[in-house]
Amino acid sequence: MIAAIQYNSRKIQVDLSKPLDLSMPLRASSSNVNAWYVGAPRIEPEKDGDWVASVKNGACINFNNIYFNPHAHGTHTECVGHITEKVHAINDHLKTFFFLAEVITVAPERLEEDRVISKKQIQFALGNKKRDAVIIRTIPNTRDKFTRQYSNTNPPYLMRDAAIYLREKGVKHLLIDLPSIDKEKDNCELLAHNAFWNTNGRMRMDATITELIYVSNKIEDGMYILNLQIAPFENDAAPSKPILYKIIN
């Protein structure tokens, strides 16, 4: 199915029958991707005395409760409420869902004991392109990202000046295949989050950060249309399902 999307004065065509899913599924398993020192997600049938809401156990329905943390257990999109005293909800601030996006691939650089994504790397990858959204794939890019246990591993992160650069280029939506754009243990400075959302100036309430995505190696670097959909949670972050569409004109 070919659809036309109006972007500024340009009409862009995409094939809606060929979505490229960037999300990770959430599974009730200790091998589910995990970060931030929490247990595995759980999906369990409701119980009422001896009655178990599972067809396997004799009920007429499956009726499960799900226990998870959106920041820790899979692909999620967050707003500035993640780091402000007043809890702003992502559902209140993400109001449009289609964006012109650029996929870039970056090999994090060594900085003392860390691996970082620098401003120079982002500048080189983006050049003079103007995009609503930037999607960062880090290498090596193997499928063990679906099961990686990130706690206490000091994953790569984005340098503060790289986040400022993206903000100043007008990028509203930043997506990355890491558990955070900031260093795992940084004394709660959250330098890249604060820089991207401009918390020391006019806060960018409509800007989002999406973490723990997976960008298949079959997806080439370049320009796409991004459909960024979230579960309608009244929370600073919600599970999300970012979908890319190739531009065919």
209 inside domain:
yes
Question: Which residue in the block uniquely carries the two structure tokens 């370049």?
Answer: 222
15 inside domain:
yes
Can you give the residue range of the structural domain that contains 86? 2-25+70-246
What's this model's pTM, rounded to 2 decimal places?
0.96
Distance, CA of 33 to CA of 24 (rounded, Å): 8
- Here the CATH number for the domain that contains residue 173 is 3.50.30.50
Distance, CA of 191 to CA of 183 (rounded, Å): 9
pLDDT 10s digits, 156-206: 999 999 999 999 999 999 999 999 999 999 999 999 999 999 999 999 999
SS3 assignment, position 241: strand
Distance, CA of 161 to CA of 182 (rounded, Å): 12
63 inside domain:
no
The residue ranges of the chain whose pLDDT is under 50 are: none
Q: What is the pLDDT of residue 6?
A: 81
Q: How many domains does the chain have?
A: 1
Where on the phi/psi map is residue 243: left (φ > 0), alpha (ψ -120 to 50), or beta? beta
Q: What is the pLDDT of residue 4?
A: 83
137 inside domain:
yes
38 inside domain:
no
Beta bridge partners of 109: 116
Q: Could you tell me which of 178, 188, 181, 173 has the C-alpha nearest to residue 214?
A: 178
Q: Could you tell me which of 215, 145, 204 has the C-alpha nearest to residue 179?
A: 145
215 inside domain:
yes
32 inside domain:
no
Sign of CA dihedral 173, 174, 179, 180: negative
Q: What is the pLDDT of residue 5?
A: 81
Give buried/exposed letters for 133-143 (b at 16+ CB in 10 A, else e): bbbbbbeeeee
Distance, CA of 199 to CA of 82 (rounded, Å): 11
Q: What is the pLDDT of residue 81?
A: 97
Task: For the chain, report the end-to-end CA distance as a whole number of angstroms.
Answer: 14
Q: Could you tell me which of 131, 68, 83, 136 has the C-alpha nearest to residue 108?
A: 136
193 inside domain:
yes
